[in-house]
Chains A and B, each alone.
Chain A
Amino acid sequence: AQSVTQPDIHITVSEGASLELRCNYSYGATPYLFWYVQSPGQGLQLLLKYFSGDTLVQGIKGFEAEFKRSQSSFNLRKPSVHWSDAAEYFCAVLRDSSYKLIFGSGTRLLVRP
């Protein structure tokens, strides 16, 4: 069965530092992968997605993610974190063609001034 694992429950980084959020997936075929961000009490905003092609995907707000099939990973990165990036981040994989998503447990990002 498909699944998504986000090993880090929360991560704290200093403003201006680089960031990497980990995501591992379990999926039989080529996965469709997503990263979403959720601010407190809000819905989800899509940061980026991977369907095929270039394994390094650029997203909004300066985020990028790299699909590594050999490691079953889709880690999210940002070279320099801003205080406004503090939020909950969810990695997700498409369950089937009907756009049902399976979400990881989320990683809460805290940003130190």
Chain B
Amino acid sequence: GAVVSQHPSRVICKSGTSVKIECRSLDFQATTMFWYRQFPKQSLMLMATSNEGSKATYEQGVEKDKFLINHASLTLSTLTVTSAHPEDSSFYICSANGGSNTEAFFGQGTRLTVV
């Protein structure tokens, strides 16, 4: 299957700083990527849909100024958590549509800890 690479896999940052997470489709072009957030022992909640060359679409309740999403190319989307606070600590996972458009492939996730 197609491969989606997410980097970094783990990051610790100080409160008030910003953190950037990258999501790359390695062997296919992804016009649409998705960013999910997963709290401990909970399910994944969609945060936003990232569209190549246009603004991201955010789900209700997600602060777009806090979670900046950029999808500058067909193989790369980035999520920047700005002015991070401890409550932003979570597991963030991206996914991308496969070329055949029959399934979404997930990255391995990023564990963000804000101290």
Contact = CB atoms under 8 A, between A and B. Distances in A.
Interface of A: 34, 36, 41-46, 49, 51, 90, 95, 98-106
Interface string B82-115: 0000000001010101000111111111010000
Given A43-B6, A51-B102, A90-B44, A99 B97 contact: yes
B34 interface: yes
A44 B1 contact: no
A100 B34 contact: yes
Contacts of A105: 42-43
Interface residues of B, number: 25
Contacts of A95: 46
A90 B105 CA distance: 14
Nearest to A45: B106
Given A42-B109, A46-B105, A49-B102, 6 more contacts: A41-B111, A43-B4, A44-B106, A45-B106, A46-B103, A98-B49
Contacts of B109: 41-43
Interface of B: 1, 4, 6, 32, 34, 42-46, 49, 91, 93, 95, 97, 101-109, 111
A44 B93 contact: yes
Contacts, number: 53
B4 to A, nearest CB: 8
11 contacts: A46-B1, A95-B46, A99-B101, A100-B49, A101-B34, A101-B95, A101-B104, A103-B44, A103-B45, A106-B42, A106-B43
Contact of A43 (B1, B49, B93): B93
A105 B106 CA distance: 17
A88 to B, nearest CB: 9
A98 B6 CA distance: 21
Nearest to B94: A43
